[in-house]
Structure 1
Amino acid sequence: MTVIADPKAPRIPRSGPGRRSTRGNTELYAWVFMRVSGVLLLVLIFAHLISNLVVGEGVSQIDFAFVAGKWATPFWQVWDLTMLWLAMIHGTNGMRTIINDYAEKDRTRLVLKSALYLAFAVVVVLGTLVIFTFDPCPVGAPADLLPSFCSDI
């Protein structure tokens, strides 16, 4: 016969008599982060969608020149960078939780989490580089390859 412990029974402290363990706070912080970042992402994403799709000419205005014009200002660079970083950390943390919950073998968990962290690092580094080094009119580029608005410069 299997006996299931009473969930309302007092827990036995792990660290010694009457002491509380501080291990496991990482998961609490990850849980809180997911809630806070989710709310921030909602604000960032909806403001992004409204400013790009509702204000102005709508989706027909979005082209290379539109993105180049947006990323010419530090405000939009920081806005998009914040969205990128927050979304990637939020998504990576969620996938980490899923891997921890469903991967039964330690080796499988290690491989999946390593691939996850590698993908995170590649996307964040490349995305950050693109946002801050984007130049629609590079010096020395052939004129026939440049957008039409670069000839004015």
Structure 2
Amino acid sequence: MTVIESPRTPARRAPRRGVNLEKWGWIWMRASGVLLVVLIFGHLYVNLVDGEGVKAIDFGFVAGKWASPFWQVWDLLILWLALIHGANGMRTIINDYTSPGAVQKVLKGALLLATVVLLVLGTLVIFTFDPCPAGSPAELLPSFCTA
């Protein structure tokens, strides 16, 4: 006589050792998603509602905002959370639609490279942004810069 186990019976597997990266990726997506909602709505409120709307957003607006370390960190958090959140989502899509092997490794490598490059460049832009660089011709500087 053949016995069929109940569908709710947990599968018998060998105990796993080490860190469960898929579980932590799942947790990351939920936590970063909640933080991103708060950060992005704060960003939109300050940039669009609290001020004069879209017409006020220009080079000078960004320069004034990034003069404050608070807004630099705020925008840095949005950049890092959004890029890593998106990269983790793309990693999941790559896992779902490709078979383990060379193609999957190349796609994940390209994704990792693109993510790291964008994080480094974005971070450099936020922290090295200088609207009034020394030695620039006065006619090329914004009106709020003293030549």
TM-score where L is the length of structure 1:
0.88
Identity of aligned residues (%): 64
Partner amino acid, structure 2, of 1:97? T
Cα distance per residue 1:81-134 (max 9 Å; x no partner)? 000000011000110011011112511101111110111011100000000000
Question: CA offset at residue 22 of structure 1?
Answer: 3.4
| Equivalent position of 1:126 in the other structure | 121
Superposition RMSD in Å = 1.7
Gapped regions of structure 1 (runs ≥ 5): 15-19
CA distance in 1, matches of 2:92, 2:19: 14
Could you say if the C-alpha distance between residues 65 and 112 of structure 1 is closer, same or farther in structure 2, counting changes exceeding 3 Å?
A: same
Q: Which residue of 2 aligns with 1:10?
A: 10
CA distance in 1: counterparts of 2:54 and 2:62, whole angstroms: 12
Q: Can you list the C-alpha shifts for 1:17-70, whole angstroms capped at 9, x where unaligned?
A: xxx323561111110110010010000000100100001211111000000000
Amino acid corresponding to residue 84 of structure 2 in structure 1: I
Aligned mate of 1:92, from 84, 87, 92: 87
Which of residues 38, 43, 55 in structure 1 aligns to 2:38?
Answer: 43
For structure 2, the residue ranges without an aligned partner over 5 or more in a row are none
**Larger relative contact order (C-alpha < 8 A, sep ≥ 6)?**
2
TM-score by length of 2: 0.92
Distance 2:17 2:30 in 1: 21
